[in-house]
Structure 1
Amino acid sequence: MSERFAAPAQDTIPLRVLSPGEVEGWRATLSGFELAQIDAHGFSGKLGEVRILFDAKGRVASGVVGFGTPKDRARQQYPLGGVAARLPAGTYALSEGIAGADLENAALAWLLSAYRFTRYKDASAQGARLVAPEGLDAARLEAEAAAVALTSDLVNTPANEMGPEALEYAALDLAERFAAPVSVIRGADLLARDLPMIHTVGRAAAQEPRLIDFSWGDPSHPRVTLVGKGVCFDTGGLNLKPGSSMGLMKKDMGGAATVLGLAQLIMGLKLPVRLRVLIPAVENSVSGPSFRPGDVLRARNGLTVEINNTDAEGRLILADALALACEEKPEILVSMATLTGAARVALGPDVPPFFTDDEAVATDLAGASVRRWDPLWRLPFWNPYEEMIEPDIADLDNAPKGGFAGAITAALFLRRFTEGAGAYVHVDCYAWTPTAKPGRPKGGASQGARALFDMLSRRYAA
């Protein structure tokens, strides 16, 4: 696969993009030979429609792509994301018909559509290559596509080969590429280092629970800390999930995978921040040491948590990591996690909710999600629901009864561990594309990382 643009070549094939209303005017410019080719197959400008024109010697000379109507385009995240798959192998250039944000969207979608997960099965590479359109930041687009691919690779890998140890190796590999010092706290050392809830959630698994911690960048730059939920497989613990709910639990480390993709983007494009990445990596398994419903745990910051469902484990490991992160008072603290089914019920698989109390950050992030075609939607830290996470015998309840506002109560739970951060943002991502869409293959998905990078880069531009 290739997530990079092609170098211009003598045989680069120009592609013209046309909406339905532009087709007749274009037809008037064609030679009789070209018009005969178009009439043989038809071309109406329908979204994603592709036609190739040949010269008199039978060589590919040019192509035309349908842009559809504004209504058609509004229904797709990447309206031209399926074009590359419909073209014969070759090097192409988007020559006419679109500009500005539409052109950038098409170029990014072309790169994203080249992704293939080939760890276990060969897949033919995308034969159609695109020359970077003039005026676009090609390096950034390539970096975004590479970050998405990293996240997708990690999420798509099943738990037998992407357990806590393998997730640690993935983080170590990334950190090493950018000379970022790493520390990893494993097993009983988590207790000695006052990270008890990470230990408790992961202690029943064959692979030890761990906290992965690396930093990068000038220590004098603004501190940005990313925390990613790394539950490499979630059985539900003693509150065992049914089989139908366990099938996709390899993706329960999607928050960690997305954070690693975002970290790669930040480091690769040299954003002037002091980055810290914290990933609590565990498997929520069932064995003798499993934690139990009714247990009361004490977190790193001293708060006590009553366990009313062992399947609400992600917020427990994040709590310790967030409390640790806040001890150095980051200017911006971000958590990313496949945290609640309630978020999916509210917004579906494509639109993760985000939470923050910082109005400036909220405005910037909402704008970034639109600019980068990386949808996010703000939900509130609704303070009147605080009482829903406060049980009788402990400070906090990890799984409030009643079923209402599950995404909000989970976010409120996490916020209790963020004292000291300048601004806190929580993203409840799904990390999965259930059905292939243009520019979005089925499987592991990066959600929110590109929007967060856009927000951070505008705030901390060099």
Structure 2
Amino acid sequence: MTPAFAPRTADASDAIPVHLLDEGDIEARIAGWRESGQANLADWAEATKFTGKAGQVQVVRAATGQPLAVLAGHGTPATRRRGRFATAGIAAGLPAGTYRLECDLDGPALEEAALGWLLSAYRFDRYKSMPPAEALLLAPDGVDAKRLEILAAAEFLTRDLVNTPASDLGPDALEAALRDLAEAHGAGVSVTAGDQLLTDNFPLIHTVGRAAAQAPRLLDMRWGSEGPTLTLVGKGVCFDTGGLNIKPGTSMGLMKKDMGGAANVMGLASAIMALKLPLRLRVLIPAVENAIDGSAFRPGDILPSRKGLTVEVNNTDAEGRLVLADALALACEEPPEMLISMATLTGAARVAVGPDLAPFYTDDDDLARELSEAGGRMADPVWRLPFWDPYEALIEPETADLDNAPSGGFAGSITAALFLRRFVGEGQRYCHFDIFAWRPTGKPGLPKGGLGQGPRALLHTIERVLLA
């Protein structure tokens, strides 16, 4: 599906007005309606005891039952800080029709309201038919409608990829999805797969994926010929059994989403290309399945890497950092002006910040500040965690250069980020996101399932930092 605003007709007054009303402001609005000859709105608000509480919706109807207007609660500043995309909940409960917002919002708040309405249209209907969203919104004056449609489409792409089970989205299908994205925007794709990974010096990617039915591979997409350079690296573990350190069933059930880093990177790339940003983009995705057969790698193995560092395997379920390591090393052989990695890397990050926040790591304070501000502006919450240098010793075993899973269990997200940083060039502007890419429970505009975490904040930051 392609998220879009309703086509704007010559007379927008034909659209049904949605009055977005703050809690505590109703008495003044009722008085204003009576003074302006809209007694029907005032009567309806009083009869239904409408308060403007967040999530409250009343459809004002004519005697024939035809909807004339909508009263929609926008809550208070305090309740709005506790959630996003209030308009998505409004849209979900409305009858079919074309609507327009009547509100006092502007700037980022108006953009969030319009984007939330678009996101309410998401349906994952590949395996089960679902009714389409029929409450269409006219793009409010003061927003860049095309840009918001592109952002929503990028989010839909990410969600669809994450929601698709591994039976239909293994390394083969992930490669096909990237090729489709590239073809849509005139990008080029090269692939290194199977034993060619060993020939071309990607030993960690090969080792992690060699036990699976579908060959491991490194996907490499390039787009753009002018401007600053940006490289995105996304973890594409299409399913993660845990390898020989096999996960229990309760932990394995969601592992179709272990390619959520790749899905988020692809969503971000789709927005960059659709917006035709003046930069040179590279996307690297190590696409593998961490499976089990006689060739599976083992705890205690010491593995070579593209960068020359050796890695002792203390847990085969810490495989994501291994495939990312080779991809990051490749990325830094042509050092980009900005390097970003995204991965569903650690459960420790979920314990630290829960499922809503996207934690990120960077040594660049200016970049961190821009990202934090962008997260708030773009309704895409992020949170900085530290590259804590004193923990470097935790990833240094006695028998190899690096340990992929330090014992003890403390600071698991930080030690994983430090591990990745070892494969990044000195002085490289780098940011790593340790995301969940999943909603365990649904909310308006944020249904249960696959989720984009960080791409909108990153897009805004890229424009401000690389393209200012």
Normalising by structure 1, what TM-score? 0.97
Preserved CA contact (<8 Å) 1:223 1:332: yes
Q: Does 1:181 align with 2:183?
A: no
CA contact (8 A) 1:2 1:115 kept: no
- Which range is displaced more, 52-61 or 253-262? 52-61
Match of 1:102 among 97, 103, 109: 109
Query: Is the 8 Å Cα contact of residues 108 and 378 (structure 2) preserved in structure 1?
Result: no
Equivalence for 1:6: 6
Q: For 1:132 and 1:318, locate their aligned partners in 2 and report how far apart those are by CA, in whole Å.
A: 40
1:17 paired to 2:20: yes
Most deviating of 98-107 and 147-156 = 98-107
How far apart in 2 are the matches of 1:387 and 1:411?
13
1: CA distance, partners of 2:445 / 2:39: 35
Number of the residue aligned with 2:251:
245
Distance 2:250 2:418 in 1: 28
Displacement of 1:340 = 0.2
Cα deviations by residue, 1:353-402 (Å, 9 ceiling, x for unpaired): 10001111111111111110111110111001000000000000000000
Contact map agreement 1:300 1:323 (CA 8 A) in 2: yes
Bigger shift: 142-151 or 29-38? 29-38
Question: 1:115-154 counterparts in 2 under 5 A?
Answer: 115-154=122-161
Paired residue for 2:436? 430
- 1:161-187 CA distances to partner (integer Å, 9 max, x unpaired)? 000000000000001111111100100
Matches within 5 A, 1:163-202: 163-202=170-209
3-state SS of paired residue (2:126) = coil
Q: For the residues of structure 2 that align with 1:451 and 1:96, how far apart are their CA atoms?
A: 25
Which residue type is aligned with residue 317 of structure 2? D
**Alpha-carbon distance between aligned partners in 1 of 2:273 and 2:147, rounded to the nearest angstrom:** 12
The alpha carbon displacement at 1:74 in A equals 1.1
1:70 maps to 77
Q: What is the CA distance between 1:83 and its match in structure 2?
A: 0.6
* Secondary structure class of the residue paired with 2:462: helix
Q: Say whether the 8 Å CA contact 1:200–1:291 is kept in structure 2.
A: yes
Rounded to whole Å, the distance in 2 between the matches of 1:173 and 1:277 is: 14
Unmatched 5+ stretches in structure 1: none
For the residue of structure 2 that corresponds to 1:67, the secondary structure is strand
**In 1, Cα distance between equivalents of 2:252 and 2:196:** 30
Counterpart residue number, 1:415: 421
Q: 1:68 to 1:166 in 2, by over 3 A?
A: same
Contact 2:106-2:142 within 8 A present in 1 as well: no
Q: CA deviation at 1:101?
A: 2.4
Q: Is 1:286 paired with 2:286?
A: no
**3-state SS of paired residue (2:72):** strand
Determine the structure 1 residue equivalent to 2:406.
400
Mapped pair 1:347 → 2:350: no
Relative distance call for 1:96 and 1:376 in structure 2 (3 A) is closer
Q: Tell me how far 1:37 sits from its aligned partner.
A: 3.5
Q: 2:335 aligns with which of 329, 333, 343?
A: 329
Q: Which runs of 5+ in 2 are unaligned?
A: none
State the match for 1:359 in structure 2.
Answer: 365
The Cα offsets for residues 305-346 of structure 1, whole Å up to 9 and x where unpaired, read as 000000000000000000000000111110000000000000
- Find the residue that maps to 1:278 and give its secondary structure: strand
Aligned with residue 215 of structure 1, among 222, 229, 238: 222
| Alignment partner, residue 275 of structure 1 | 281
Moved more, 417-426 or 209-218: 417-426
Provide the rounded CA distance (Å) in 2 between the counterparts of 1:258 and 1:33. 46
CA distance, structure 2, for counterparts of residue 455 and residue 14 of structure 1: 34
Between Structure 1 and Structure 2, how many residues are aligned?
461
**What is the match of residue 456 of structure 1?**
462
Asked if the contact 1:143–1:265 (Cα under 8 Å) also holds between the matched residues in 2, the reply is: yes
Q: 1:447 to 1:34 in 2, by over 3 A?
A: closer
User: Which residue number in structure 1 is paired with residue 393 of structure 2?
Assistant: 387
Contact 1:2 1:114 in 2 (8 A): no
C-alpha RMSD of matched pairs (Å): 1.4
- C-alpha separation between the residues in 2 aligned to 1:286 and 1:222? 42
Match of 1:156 in 2: 163
Task: Report SS of the residue matched to 2:25.
Answer: helix
Whole-angstrom CA distance in 2 between matches of 1:309 and 1:26: 62
Deviation of 1:420 after TM superposition, in Å, equals 5.1
Q: What displacement does 1:459 show?
A: 2.2
Q: CA deviation at 1:33?
A: 4.5
Whether the 8 Å contact between 2:2 and 2:153 is mirrored in structure 1 is: no
Q: Distance in 1 between matches of 2:47 and 2:294?
A: 70
Report the Cα distance in structure 2 between the residues aligned to 1:247 and 1:307, rounded to whole angstroms: 24
Aligned counterpart for 1:27 among listed residues 12, 27, 30: 30
Tell me the equivalent position of 2:374: 368
* SS of 1:430 mapped into structure 2: coil
Instruction: Measure, in 2, the Cα distance between the counterparts of 1:192 and 1:266.
Output: 33
Structure-2 change in CA distance of 1:253 and 1:421 (3 Å): farther
**SS of match in other structure, 2:179:** helix
Amino acid at match of 1:97: D
Is the Cα contact below 8 Å between 2:231 and 2:340 reproduced in 1? Answer: yes
